Amino acid sequence: MASPLEQALALMVTTFHKYSAKEGDKFKLSKAELKELLNKELPAFGSKQMDEAELRRLMNDLDHDKDSEVDFKEYVCFLACVTMAFNDFFRDDPSKQHRRK
């Protein structure tokens, strides 16, 4: 049986491919696919609060190779940054941490 961390890694991979396979290159996220992923999988961070200009800026920041799509490596870098922000948030306010019993 996979550990919780292994399950989380597998979920990151399968989530990427769930959205990247919808249009165009099945190994990259278009701007529309990225927007849908953010809306459905990261609603607290997602593009529901983003206007089109903010989504375009995010896409530009993530798209290191400037091919107008987000590949898996770019997606993982994004998730690493979001994870670090969550860590900072919880470190700065320990009352918000989910504690094991």
The answer to whether residue 87 sits within a structural domain is yes
Determine whether 99 is exposed, middle or buried from the number of CB atoms within 10 Å of its CB (0-12, 13-18, 19+).
Answer: exposed
Query: What pLDDT sits at residue 48?
Result: 61
Q: What is the pLDDT along the chain (101 residues), one digit of tens a residue?
A: 899 999 999 999 999 999 998 999 999 999 999 999 999 999 877 656 678 898 899 999 999 999 999 999 999 999 999 999 888 888 877 666 555 54
The answer to whether residue 67 sits within a structural domain is yes
Query: What pLDDT sits at residue 51?
Result: 84
| Domain count across the chain | 1
Query: What pLDDT sits at residue 91?
Result: 83
Query: What pLDDT sits at residue 70?
Result: 97
H-type alpha helices, 1-101: 4-20, 31-41, 52-62, 72-92
Cβ of 19: how many Cβ atoms within 10 Å? 21
Q: Considering the entire predicted model, what is its pTM? A: 0.82
The answer to whether residue 99 sits within a structural domain is no
The answer to whether residue 13 sits within a structural domain is yes
CA distance 78 to 47: 14
User: What domain range includes position 58?
Assistant: 8-92
The answer to whether residue 35 sits within a structural domain is yes
CATH code assigned at 57: 1.10.238.10
The answer to whether residue 23 sits within a structural domain is yes
